Amino acid sequence: MRSKEVVARELEAVRRRSLDLLEPVPEPDQVRQHSPLMSPLVWDLAHVGNYEEQWLLRAVAGVPATDPRYDDIYDAFRHPRRDRPQLLMLGPREARGYIAGVRSRVLDVLDDVALQPDDPLLDEAFVYGMVVQHEHQHDETMLATLQLRDHRYPHPDEPGPPAAAVGPDDVLVEGGPFVMGTDLEPWAYDNERPAHEVDLAPFRIDVVPVTNRAYLAFVDDGGYDDRRVWAEAGWAWRREAGLEHPEFWAGDGAGGWTRTRFGAVEDLPLDEPVQHVCWYEADAYARWAGKRLPTEAEWEKAASWEPSGRKRRYPWGDDPPGPHHANLGQHRFGPTSAGAYPAGVSPWGCHQLLGDVWEWTASDFTGYPGFASFPYREYSEVFYGAEYKVLRGGSWATHPLAIRTTFRNWDFPIRRQIFAGFRCATDA
């Protein structure tokens, strides 16, 4: 049961995370746009407050809007990211004042709200979980913006566990039916529902995500110039964008490679999962390796389904993610070496299916059989179609509250600024 105490605690935790992320950033850098792919940081900050106001004050309690203009300024569907710097946004101090005022009223209203099962918005505090997860997702978006800044961003960098031997390169996942999606997760989004049976042929899937070492072999072998391993649309994008290696990689002039991470240039860590590759790059690597990307159904079965026929909430079981299970929650501000979390292994023997890097799948983003939009079409339904590819598993920047084996992310196949990598699969 999601209590009011849990709701208040999670609201406070996510707001602390948002404000802490922006604390080291000078106010002018919070206002300017660092890439046309991303919003100004201060837009994201005020947007999460406007979203919270719409759902936790107006939808739940009928409280009047603070300022009707904000619904337009902070409407993500009305204003593409590239256009947001031209909006009459609140400045950093005004945005903080606005979201603080919203939060104070939300907590006041919460005292009188009945978390009743006959109201789908309030059953198990669903609408509060939606708002908390929404802000955590924008925090990850802000981290992607901070990575694109041309200044160093100070951050804690806890040492991760060392790389570990993980056995064979891939494992067999037996064929047969499994239950995909969920009807039980109280804060799951509409696109994760309903639970339904999917029958899969047997397949093999990589034990760990593709590492920088493995991906470097593709680069060194001329993979970016080999038309044969690229899909037609991928080859066109590779040529148009001038892709030659993952984003933020650079040659060091002596035959080695570096990467830039939050403004700091460092040697490329060969044992970490590759990140900042788009779907087309992942697909080309898989073809070069004689493999393919897994479907999202294959990914979810490998991550959650026990051979005995029981579904797990997380790859390791039903216990919430801990620091020994997965690299989540921006503790390291980067991926951890392959095999570093043996306690997080899945029923079939796969490592790091949650955390480290989002994993591209072969699947287009579509609704499940029996899908119904809730509580609004713009969260999922308006994005359904072949132009978006599904990502699974979360990244090092994903908060543990906002990830599970059924969680579905999606993006254009050209996107590289997100913290995405992949693993491969083959038919058995």
416 with 278, same domain? yes
Q: Which of 87, 120, 148 is a domain's end point? A: 148
The reported pTM is 0.97
103 with 196, same domain? no
Helix 4-22 vs helix 126-148: crossing angle, to nearest 10? 10
Burial (CB < 10 A; 0-12, 13-18, 19+), residue 267, is exposed
Q: What is the pLDDT confidence band of residue 331, given thresholds at 50, 70 and 90? A: confident
* pLDDT tens track for 203-238: 999 999 999 999 999 999 999 999 999 999 999 999
Q: What is the pLDDT confidence band of residue 1, given thresholds at 50, 70 and 90? A: low
Does the residue 223 lie in any domain? yes
Torsion, Cα 378 381 384 389, to 10 degrees, reads 70
* pLDDT tens track for 368-412: 999 999 999 999 999 999 999 999 999 999 999 999 999 999 999
* pLDDT tens track for 25-41: 999 999 999 999 999 99
Q: What percent of the chain is modeled with pLDDT above 90? A: 93
Q: Are the C-beta atoms of residues 151 and 260 closer than 8 Å to each other?
A: no
CA nearest to 140, candidates 407, 426, 428, 425: 407
The whole-number pLDDT of residue 49 equals: 98
307 Cβ neighbours under 8 A, 6+ residues apart: 174, 347, 348
Does the residue 185 lie in any domain? yes
Torsion, Cα 11 13 14 20, to 10 degrees, reads 140
The alpha helices in 86-185, defined as continuous H runs, are 92-110, 126-148
The CATH number covering residue 220 comes to 3.90.1580.10
Burial (CB < 10 A; 0-12, 13-18, 19+), residue 347, is buried
Using CA atoms, how far residue 381 sits from 78, 91, 276, 286, 348, in Å, is 16, 32, 26, 29, 32
CB atoms within 10 A of CB 186: 12
CA nearest to 235, candidates 288, 273, 294, 276: 288
174 with 262, same domain? yes
Compute the distance between CA of residue 412 and CA of residue 142 in angstroms, rounded to an integer.
18
Does the residue 62 lie in any domain? yes
133 with 203, same domain? no
249 with 370, same domain? yes
Q: Mean pLDDT across the chain, nearest whole number? A: 96
The whole-number pLDDT of residue 116 equals: 87
Encoded tokens for 287: 């073809």
* pLDDT tens track for 42-56: 999 999 999 999 999
The whole-number pLDDT of residue 420 equals: 98
At residue 386, the 3 state secondary structure works out as: strand
Count of structural domains, the chain: 2
265 with 398, same domain? yes
Q: What is the pLDDT confidence band of residue 328, given thresholds at 50, 70 and 90? A: very high
219 with 271, same domain? yes
179 with 114, same domain? no
Dihedral of alpha carbons 283, 289, 293, 299, sign = negative
* pLDDT tens track for 254-290: 889 999 999 999 999 999 999 999 999 999 999 999 9
Q: Which residues sit opposite 324 in a β-bridge?
A: none
187 Cβ neighbours under 8 A, 6+ residues apart: 2, 124, 125, 126, 129, 130, 133, 401
416 with 299, same domain? yes
289 with 187, same domain? yes
Does the residue 153 lie in any domain? no
Between vectors from CA 355 to CA 189 and to CA 357, what angle results, nearest 5°?
Answer: 100
CB atoms within 10 A of CB 288: 18
147 Cβ neighbours under 8 A, 6+ residues apart: 153, 248, 261, 262, 417
168 with 130, same domain? no
Q: Which of 97, 117, 148 is a domain's end point? A: 148
The whole-number pLDDT of residue 89 equals: 96
The CATH number covering residue 20 comes to 1.20.120
User: What range defines the domain where residue 120 resides?
Assistant: 4-148
CB atoms within 10 A of CB 100: 13
Q: Which of 127, 148, 169 is a domain's end point? A: 148
Whether the bond between 413 and the residue before it is cis, its omega within 30 degrees of 0, is: no
* pLDDT tens track for 144-175: 999 999 899 998 777 788 877 788 899 999 99
Does the residue 112 lie in any domain? yes
Does the residue 85 lie in any domain? yes
176 with 138, same domain? no
Phi, psi of 236 (to 5 degrees): -65, -40
Q: Are the C-beta atoms of residues 282 and 360 closer than 8 Å to each other?
A: yes
* pLDDT tens track for 294-321: 999 999 999 999 999 999 999 999 999 9
